[in-house]
Structure 1
Amino acid sequence: MKRTITALVNNTSGVLNRITGLFARRHYNIESITVGVTENPSISRMTFVVNADQMENVEQVIKQLNKQVDVLKVKDITDEAIVARELALIKIVASTAQRGEIAALVNPFRASIIDIGRESMTIQITGDHPKVEAFIDLLRPYGIKELARTGITAFNRGHKKPLNDSYRLTLIN
């Protein structure tokens, strides 16, 4: 089962190495990791996506993370109402004749074409993980030359109650 864990840490050198080392010692493969400075330049937010077979193991990792000197707060946000996004840059093979067809795929996904070469196009997409995966799958038949992804960045929504589907749709539209 995939778990999403966030950590607020002091923005100092070596913190990322110590934290990823802790995951490695527990034999967790980090599927996705993002790190960036928060609104406070002395604090960074880390978002990890890990595969965890048992909840007890995740709880143990969180306890060990909280013991780290530079860790300010750790939270498993998997089962909470969150906002999660990922960025992907995809360079595909694109002849002049295919560009209109590819543009027709880009628009419904709210992606954008950010570079055009003689025989290629680079497209940027942001969204949740399933949206990015679906878009990449649509582009595979054209031939993906290069692919770069940021991994998932996430934090809690501004409210505590889970949204019902009709309210969530209203917010999206």
Structure 2
Amino acid sequence: MDSITVGIEPSGNARIIILFQSDERVANFLKRVLERLVQVIEVETLREETSLVREIALLKTKPLKGEKKEQALFRIEEIGGRILEVKEDAIIAEIHGDHQRIEGVINDLGSDVLEEVARSGQVYISKKFE
């Protein structure tokens, strides 16, 4: 399992998104197992090509000075991130986008800049309207 995300729908039911990589056989097996659970209302297989996919990450930097701080601020704002708080030369920011975009920013900033990262996991919603 790569990630699991839970949210409450307007109906009051919980939507659980379980992200995993597998072949069709294993995916179908897991779908059948989940469908047998009494509490499960519906199981839907969502694919990246037919869904919108997003992830959110909160980033906390180490205390930064001068050019290093400017570069971190620029990189976060360059991808549409939001600076949530700056305190004692440390930054807390929010970034969002697809998995590769989040990975790219985290890798670009690196462990020299980042102190802590909290991520939502990937959230999917079908592009299909009914």
1:36 aligns with 2:36: no
Structure number with the bigger relative contact order (C-alpha 8 A, sep ≥ 6) is 2
Change in CA separation of 1:99 and 1:143 when aligned onto 2, cut-off 3 Å: closer
Structure 2 alignment gaps of length 5 or more:
none
Question: What is the correspondence of 1:19-168 to structure 2 with a 5 Å cutoff?
Answer: 30-41=1-12, 43-52=13-22, 54-78=23-47, 80-97=49-66, 98-140=68-110, 142-158=112-128
Shift of 1:155: 1.1
- Partner of 2:10, secondary structure, is coil
Length, aligned pairs only: 129
RMSD of aligned C-alpha atoms? 1.8
Q: Give the residue type in structure 2 aligned to 1:75.
A: E
- Partner of 1:151, secondary structure, is coil
Mapped to 1, the partners of 2:48 and 2:89 lie a distance apart of 44
Runs of 4+ in 1 over 6 A off after TM superposition: none
Structure 1 alignment gaps of length 5 or more:
1-29, 161-173
Mapped to 2, the partners of 1:80 and 1:106 lie a distance apart of 27
- Partner of 1:77, secondary structure, is coil
Query: In the TM superposition, what whole-angstrom CA distance separates every residue of 1:16-53 from its partner, at most 9, and x where no partner exists?
Result: xxxxxxxxxxxxxx211100100112x1111111122x
Question: Identity of paired residues, percent?
Answer: 22
